Amino acid sequence: MSCTRCCANIGFLEFLSVRALSVRALHKGALSPSLPSLSACVLNAFFWPLSAWYFCYFAFLGAFNTYFGLYLKSIGISAWHIGVLLSLFPVMRMVAPNFWGWLADRWGTKALVVKCATGATLVAFAGALWTSDFWGIFVVITVFAFFGSASLPLVEALTLAHLQHRVERYGRIRLWGSIGFILAVQGVGLLLDWIALSSLVWICLAILGATLISSFRLTEAPILSGHVPAGGLTGGFLNRGMLALLAACFMMSAAHSPLYVFYSIHLVDHGYTKSAVGALWALGVVAEILVFLWMPRLMRRVSVRMILAVSFAIAVIRFLLIGWAIDFLLATVMAQVMHGATFGASHAAAVAALNHWYPDRQQARAQALYSSASFGAGGLVGGLFSGYAWGALGAGPTYTIASLFALGGLILVLRGLRSG
């Protein structure tokens, strides 16, 4: 799930971005420092159900994203076809969330839509037990991705609605998702060193079942109208600066596609064990978490433009290291540590721009536009190019092209965004 992985930490990043911007606004007098408090009993009533859901959901992503490409290769799917199959996820991310958001509004309940969609996701993914050819897997992933794209944005909205204005508590809930992801990546990697890769489908189904069970504890919450931020980073809607931001994020997402689609395969082809693959993926997530925790402080001191520029520059170096220095353990470890910047910091900065620019009532549409342009369109183009390039050119040239995508994004940031 190449691009779904890209979104695995969106919620936590949004929390940190809002927190940093709220502190900045307080200094300017834009926000009142007196916020309504949540009692401990009210907080606990939704804290653990939401935490459990995040834990299970991202545990599934950890198992699926890290090892499903290896599974597809093991059943004889070609590199080009793997790229096509995993590109179905960004296609669904461009169209399905709008439908699920409309349905939740029409039904007046996000929690019920999450439960229904999660159940349908489980049934759809079970189809992988009975097919191993390209077209069969194509149908399974199409249906699975359509239903699977519903849950995360709706649960994010539920979480923020429950917390009301106390967004600083969000990290305590969302962090369980990162814990689930790391444990799944490590645990499944160790298991697959001892059992057949065909067992991955059953493992993923078991985690999806746990996700479905956890969804039954989710409850609705009132949605409060928020403040309207004063000013913005780029001015009017879809002006030169905003177009540059969207185009740069498109480039960064496309650059990451060979990582999400073929990184595990690349490591195994160069002699890394599956447990080592899991450890390297987990290292990248740990780097993300550390960056997430550091971002509020950084955003008070450094402009969004500077954060984006440094992140894109690091991405240029990172993908060259992955493509040409994979046999050197130190370089491989360094490249994974860089994930904190190339995904974590760049995404946090982009979300911060949107949170600062749009009023709360327009956040859903703003984030949908960003998601469609980056994780949707960027992931689709990146997945298709990486699938072709991997088979036709090999790993080194494929990651070099990824580095060039990142370089293009860097140029867009430097030329298209104002400082600030």
pLDDT tens-place string over residues 358-391: 655 555 566 667 777 888 889 889 988 998 999 9
Highest-scoring range by mean pLDDT, 90-99, 119-128, 228-237, 347-356: 119-128
Q: How confident is the model at residue 364, as a pLDDT?
A: 53
Question: What band does 417 get if pLDDT is binned at 50, 70 and 90?
Answer: confident
Q: What DSSP state is assigned to residue 342?
A: I
Distance of alpha carbon 343 from alpha carbon 229, whole angstroms: 26
Over 90: is that where the pLDDT of 398 sits? yes
Q: Decide if 68 is inside a domain.
A: yes
What average pLDDT does range 39-44 have in this prediction?
48
Tell the burial category of 78 from Cβ atoms under 10 Å away from its Cβ (0-12, 13-18, 19+).
middle
Quick: pLDDT tens for 165-178: 565 466 577 778 88
Q: What percent of the chain has pLDDT over 90?
A: 41
pTM of the predicted structure, to 2 decimals: 0.72
Q: Residue 414's CB: how many other CB atoms inside 10 A?
A: 15
Q: Decide if 306 is inside a domain.
A: yes
Q: Higher-confidence residue: 340 or 420?
A: 340
Identify the CATH number of the domain in which residue 333 sits.
Answer: 1.20.1250.20
| Residue 68 contacts residue 200 (beta carbons within 8 Å) | yes
For 23, the token pair is 């502190």
Q: How confident is the model at residue 148, as a pLDDT?
A: 87
Distance of alpha carbon 45 from alpha carbon 39, whole angstroms: 10
Cα distances from 9 to residues 119, 164, 187, 378, in angstroms, run 23, 20, 20, 17
Q: Decide if 123 is inside a domain.
A: yes
Distance of alpha carbon 60 from alpha carbon 114, whole angstroms: 16
Q: Decide if 37 is inside a domain.
A: no
User: 308 Cβ partners below 8 Å, 6+ apart?
Assistant: 248, 346, 349, 350, 413, 417
What average pLDDT does range 326-340 have in this prediction?
97
Per the structure, the count of domains in the chain is 1
DSSP string, 214-247: HHTT----PPPP----SS-SS-STT-HHHHHHHH
For 145, the token pair is 């991705």
Tell the residue number behind the tokens 């998702």, with chain if given.
177
| Residue 347 contacts residue 288 (beta carbons within 8 Å) | no
Q: Decide if 75 is inside a domain.
A: yes
Interior CA angle at 358 toward 353 and 361, to 5°?
A: 140
Over 90: is that where the pLDDT of 300 sits? no
Q: Decide if 39 is inside a domain.
A: no
* Alpha helices (H) along 216-345: 240-269, 274-299, 304-324, 329-337, 339
Q: How confident is the model at residue 274, as a pLDDT?
A: 85
Q: Decide if 38 is inside a domain.
A: no
Mutual angle of helices 363-371 and 88-107, in 10-degree steps: 160
Domain span including residue 67: 6-28+44-227+235-416
DSSP string, 121-184: HHHHHGGGGS--SHHHHHHHHHHHHHHHTSHHHHHHHHHHHHHTT-GGGHHHHHHHHHHHHHHH
Distance of alpha carbon 132 from alpha carbon 148, whole angstroms: 21
Q: Decide if 377 is inside a domain.
A: yes
Round the average pLDDT of the chain to a whole number and report it. 80
What average pLDDT does range 26-54 have in this prediction?
55
Quick: pLDDT tens for 171-198: 577 778 888 988 998 899 889 989 999 9
Quick: pLDDT tens for 129-165: 999 999 999 999 999 999 988 788 778 777 767 776 5
Q: How confident is the model at residue 290, as a pLDDT?
A: 86
